[in-house]
Amino acid sequence: MPDTTADDIVLMVDELVTNAIEHATGPVWLRLRLRRGCCVICKVEDGCQEAPQLRHSDPDAENGRGLFLVSALADAFGARITTTGKVIWFRRRVRDGRIPAPRTTSPADY
């Protein structure tokens, strides 16, 4: 089975940034940190002081699953309210401190 770590990290970052853009106002800040031999830590900060909620979405809905994906793929995740908004974060272990390159596709794959 191929190592999907990089793809999972890209998906989780995309979900958190997309949520911040869609549900908050003002700037969105993304911080990624690789702790060698350990893990990747992602933090997304926005100007909304509402705590993110895991929601059950309709099976036919086009959105509403982002936090469920993050909770399933991350080793840990959470959120905290700040004086200017909130920070939502996840941590994902990486093997040997390395992140394999994301899989690539060609137009023929579609």
In a domain, 102, yes or no: no
pLDDT on residue 83: 95
pLDDT on residue 30: 97
In a domain, 46, yes or no: yes
pLDDT on residue 35: 86
pLDDT over threshold 50, residue 1: no
39-46 and 29-35: which strand pairing?
Answer: antiparallel
What is the band of 106 on the pLDDT scale with cuts at 50, 70, 90? low
In a domain, 109, yes or no: no
Query: What's the CATH code of the domain at 84?
Result: 3.30.565.10
C-alpha 41/C-alpha 93 separation (Å) is 9
Average the pLDDT over 30-49 and give the result: 93
The number of distinct structural domains making up the chain is: 1
In a domain, 108, yes or no: no
C-alpha 98/C-alpha 81 separation (Å) is 31
- The residue segments making up the domain with residue 77 are 5-54+64-97
- Between residues 110 and 44, which one has the greater pLDDT? 44
In a domain, 59, yes or no: no
In a domain, 85, yes or no: yes
In a domain, 28, yes or no: yes
pLDDT over threshold 90, residue 36: no
